[in-house]
Structure 1
Amino acid sequence: MPDTRISGLVRMWINGWTVSRGGSDPIDEPWGWTIDVGQAKHVARHVLPEPSEADVRKIVAATSAPGTWLKLFAEDEAVLPWVGPGWRLAGPGFLMTCPLAPDHPEAPAGYTLTRWTRGGVSRVLVRTRDGHFAARGQIAHAGAHAVVDQVETAADHRRKGLGGLVMRTLQSSAHEGGARTGVLVGTPEGRALYSSLGWTTHAPMASLWYEPDAAG
């Protein structure tokens, strides 16, 4: 059985996220984990499954590098007062899980679906018959669980069932690879789709990044 405590679910999420994005192994901290990401606008992230004001203020005080992110599993309104100038709030997220099962969805008329797996990550690409991008997504395998990441549908192709097609195909690919639990952090828009597919919400997530030019 998967660990259903928030800290356990968050650990499952970051284990798969680092595979999906090529991040460093998570570094254990008293309050959670630090991950080196290595991008100009996303140098590193600190992940706190149960953030306290004292821990967040300590991290903020020690942060001087632009592109440092905080992933705090709490409501935006609760944690925003704990950070100072220069910290910007991204859209809210939601930690969700779902039992995985085999599935074999077919692309609707007018679309083609391609899927492949490399380096522990399965990807799905949906295109129009003439090759135009329509939707995509990926899922990272991490033992008995898998983490969904970077699901998107082009604006001109929304409300046609392509998001569900991508998700069901990813879930089936992960199940074929031996995973039995899916984990993700979804946007408010994605949450509606995922809920309709059997995903359960466990916690909100506030996402902030440090950009000193935003101090004013």
Structure 2
Amino acid sequence: MPDTGISELVRSWIDGWVVSRGSSDPIDEPWGWTIDVGQPRHVARHVLPEPSEGDVRKIVAGTSAPGTWLKLFAEEQAVLPWAGPGWRSDVPGYLMTGQLRPERPEVPSGYTLTSWTRGGVSRVLVRTSAGHFAARGQVARAGTHAVVDQVETATGHQRKGLGSLVMRTLQSTAYEAGARTGLLVGTPEGRALYSSLGWTMRAPMTSLWYEPADAAP
């Protein structure tokens, strides 16, 4: 894939993420974008593809609402000191890209796979033959890109190929819908799976949220 600037990749990721999560359209800011998410502990997020100390400190100084998040595409040790009291760190993330292709992965014995599309989001659900939840994931298209989101495998069903099954099914679904490049932000645990499927890490992401001591549950 031709080299693409981090800001362009992050914007493509955002365009799919807001569809996947049903949040507001992103608002352009001098430093990136603001998104209204509208959840009690995730009211809004500010996304900075190339964070600077001045921009982060300005946002932090203007934040009073608990549940405000910062998504900073940089290593935690570089940006965490800019946040100050009341800001907490989530697990690290990794912006990754992958080439999509049509596939027909085999469903492991003892499991069933269901998929459906609604409102621009395609979902995959894996259950046991008895109907118990085993794994899931979803993908939202943004032009020629598709954003994979909320991939998870239940405890007790890990290391059985279900994560790969979900990912390959989502990749194929997005390809058939016209997307050619996949985007996602993965956890450290997910990164190994995505790398094994040919995805490439493009940038680290630090997630911080505002929860002052008097607002903690």
Once the two structures are superposed, what CA deviation does each residue of 1:24-72 show, in whole Å capped at 9, x if it has no partner?
Answer: 1100000000000011100000000000000000000000000000000
CA distance in 1, matches of 2:66, 2:56: 17
Q: Which residue of 2 aligns with 1:53?
A: 53
Aligned equivalents of 1:13, 1:55: Cα separation in 2: 21
Q: Which runs of 5+ in 2 are unaligned?
A: none
Q: Match of 2:146?
A: 146
Deviation at 1:215, TM superposition (A): 9.0
CA contact (8 A) 1:86 1:210 kept: yes
Match of 1:107, SS?
coil
Alignment of 1:120-159 (within 5 A): 120-159=120-159
1:14 maps to which residue? Answer: 14
What secondary structure is seen at the aligned counterpart in 2 of 1:7? helix
Structure 1 position 142, deviation (Å): 1.2
In structure 1, the residue matched to 2:92 is: 92
Give the structure 1 partner of residue 33 of structure 2. Answer: 33
Distance 1:165 1:200 in 2: 19
The 1:30–1:94 alpha-carbon spacing in structure 2 relative to 1, beyond 3 Å, is same
1:113–1:126: 8 Å Cα contact kept in structure 2? Answer: yes
Number of aligned residue pairs: give it. Answer: 216
Matched residue type, 1:41 = R
1:163 match: secondary structure: helix
Tell me the distance in 1 between the aligned counterparts of 2:136 and 2:125. 5
Give the superposed CA RMSD.
1.4
Amino acid at match of 2:118: R
Find the residue that maps to 2:51 and give its secondary structure.
coil
Alignment-derived partner of residue 105 in structure 1: 105
Give the 3 Å change call, closer, same or farther, for CA 215–111 of structure 1 in structure 2: closer
CA shift, 1:212, in A, is: 1.0
Whole-Å Cα distance in 2 between the matches of residues 79 and 214 of structure 1? Answer: 24
Contact 1:88 1:214 (8 Å CA) reproduced:
no
- In the TM superposition, what is the alpha-carbon distance from 1:214 to its structure 2 partner? 7.1
Indicate the SS of the match to 2:113. strand
Which residue is equivalent to 1:162?
162
| Alpha-carbon distance, 1:4 to partner | 1.3
Local SS of the residue matching 2:104:
coil
Calculate percent identity across the aligned residue pairs. 80
Deviation at 1:108, TM superposition (A): 0.4
- 8 Å Cα contact 2:66/2:215 also seen in 1: no
Deviations 1:70-118 (A, max 9, x none): 0000001000100111000000000000010000112100000000110
Specify every segment of 5 or more residues in structure 1 that has no aligned partner in the other structure, as ranges: none
Contact 1:87–1:214 (8 Å) recurs in 2: no
